[in-house]
Amino acid sequence: MNKKHYLIALLYGIITAACLFAPCLPAGAEEQAAAGKSGKTKPIAPKEKLEQLVAELQKNPDDYALREKAIRLALTFKPAPAVPTEARKFEGRAEYALKDAKSETDFLDAAEEYKKALLLAPWIANDYFNQALAYEKGGKFKEAKQGLELYLLAAPNAKDAEDVQKRIAGIEYAIEKKIKDESPDARFQTLKKSLDGSEWFAQPRHRDLDHYFKLQNGELSYWLEWRTDMDPEMAQLNPHLPGTREKLWNGPLTSASFVMPKGNKFSMDNFVTLSEDGELITVNWSGEFSGTLTLVRRR
């Protein structure tokens, strides 16, 4: 065998050994492995991210910040995201209900159909506008104002933006007048009804647990919930705590100010105040230790 043939045979042997003993990676796997080693992750495509936001919104339909995030992302799409067939179906139902509405209940039924469409496609600007009209006719001024604000967000170049801003101002006036015309007790009952199902969480959050109030069917309850991401040392000492919660108090919400009395759960009286707009709950206590806890309503 001459020298040239010898070198070719040697090279062939090296290549064969590499294939036998080295792990076989599919096309592109080397780049993925290298990316993994460098700590980089593949970015989520905008379409997939929008689908994730819509799925989260369907679980938390009153999460205003989440809805805004979905709208802002959809605005970056050229062309705009396709509207699901099911959303168009709810649009049709809403338009029919709105056209034939005669009572406040009818208008609120139409608003509910628009709500279903907007849970599937939260970027449809016209649906927010029409839903706001339905809410306004149904006497739900707060929801109407929010709908028009979302319309302006979803349609940043709307030709009627100035007229819509005037309409928002008019609705704000209607809200103020309605509050002024009601007796203090009537105002409180209206507020309580509008807040049913709400939760208020302490701000700033404690590193290990959450304090929160919950209003359900007119009953207000006060809870402590140990966080699953609590301090590891604390979790190790108390492995039963993460994720557990304890109800410290509950009772009917009969006024905007009341006392959670001293007892087996509290070493002193706790004075609780609900703000006029229902967005804040403040807890004050005094004695050997005094302090204030502010809880913010989560939409």
pLDDT band at 13 (very low <50, low <70, confident <90, very high): low
Q: Is 80 domain-assigned? A: yes
Per-residue CA distances from 252 to 97, 260, 298 (Å): 37, 12, 20
Domain extent for 137: 48-181
Q: Return d(Cα 293, Cα 204) in angstroms, integer.
A: 9
Do both 176 and 201 map to the same domain? Answer: no
Of the given ranges (102-106, 139-143, 157-161, 283-287), which has the lowest mean pLDDT? Answer: 283-287
Do both 175 and 71 map to the same domain? Answer: yes
Average pLDDT, the chain: 86
- More confident position, 297 or 206: 297
- Condensed to tens digits (0 to 9), the pLDDT of residues 72-104 reads 999 999 999 999 999 999 999 999 999 999 999
Total domains in the chain come to: 2
Identify the pLDDT of residue 31. 47
Q: Is 13 domain-assigned? A: no
Kindly tell me if the per-residue pLDDT of 10 is higher than 60: no
Largest separation between any pair of C-alpha atoms in the chain = 110
- The mean pLDDT of 159-176, rounded to a whole number, is 95
Do 203 and 294 meet the contact criterion of CB atoms below 8 Å apart? yes
Q: What percent of the chain has pLDDT over 70?
A: 85
Do both 177 and 263 map to the same domain? Answer: no
Q: Is 20 domain-assigned? A: no
Q: Is 190 domain-assigned? A: no
Q: What is the DSSP track for the chain?
A: --HHHHHHHHHHHHHHHHHHHSPP--TTHHHHHHHHHTT--PPPPHHHHHHHHHHHHHH-TT-HHHHHHHHHHHTT-SSPPPPPHHHHHHHHHHHHHHHH--SHHHHHHHHHHHHHHHHH-TT-HHHHHHHHHHHHHTT-HHHHHHHHHHHHHH-TT-TTHHHHHHHHHHHHHHHHHHHHHS-HHHHHHHHHHHHTT-EEEESSPPSSEEEEEEEETTEEEEEEEE-TT--HHHHHH-TT-TT-EEEEEEEE--SSEEEE-SSSS-SS-EEEEE-TTSSEEEEEE-SSS-EEEEEEEE-
Do both 213 and 172 map to the same domain? Answer: no
Kindly tell me if the per-residue pLDDT of 30 is higher than 50: no
Identify the pLDDT of residue 146. 96
Identify the pLDDT of residue 143. 95
pLDDT band at 257 (very low <50, low <70, confident <90, very high): very high
pLDDT band at 166 (very low <50, low <70, confident <90, very high): very high
Q: Which residue, of 148, 181, 214, is where some domain finishes?
A: 181
> What CATH number should be reported for the domain holding residue 159?
1.25.40.10
Do both 65 and 151 map to the same domain? Answer: yes
- Condensed to tens digits (0 to 9), the pLDDT of residues 114-138 reads 999 999 999 999 999 999 999 999 9
Do both 172 and 240 map to the same domain? Answer: no
Do both 86 and 132 map to the same domain? Answer: yes
Q: Return d(Cα 293, Cα 176) in angstroms, integer.
A: 29
Do 66 and 53 meet the contact criterion of CB atoms below 8 Å apart? yes
Kindly tell me if the per-residue pLDDT of 23 is higher than 80: no
Do 65 and 298 meet the contact criterion of CB atoms below 8 Å apart? no
Torsion angle in degrees (nearest 10) through CA of 192, 198, 202, 204: -120
Do 113 and 93 meet the contact criterion of CB atoms below 8 Å apart? yes
Of the given ranges (38-42, 56-60, 65-69, 209-213), which has the lowest mean pLDDT? Answer: 38-42
pLDDT band at 24 (very low <50, low <70, confident <90, very high): very low
Kindly tell me if the per-residue pLDDT of 155 is higher than 70: yes
> What CATH number should be reported for the domain holding residue 208?
2.40.160
Residue 206 corresponds to which amino acid?
H
- More confident position, 142 or 37: 142
pLDDT band at 14 (very low <50, low <70, confident <90, very high): low
- The mean pLDDT of 12-16, rounded to a whole number, is 51
User: What residues form DSSP beta bridges with 34?
Assistant: none
Kindly tell me if the per-residue pLDDT of 35 is higher than 70: no
- The mean pLDDT of 7-27, rounded to a whole number, is 47
Do both 140 and 68 map to the same domain? Answer: yes
Q: Is 189 domain-assigned? A: no
Q: Is 240 domain-assigned? A: yes
Q: Is 69 domain-assigned? A: yes
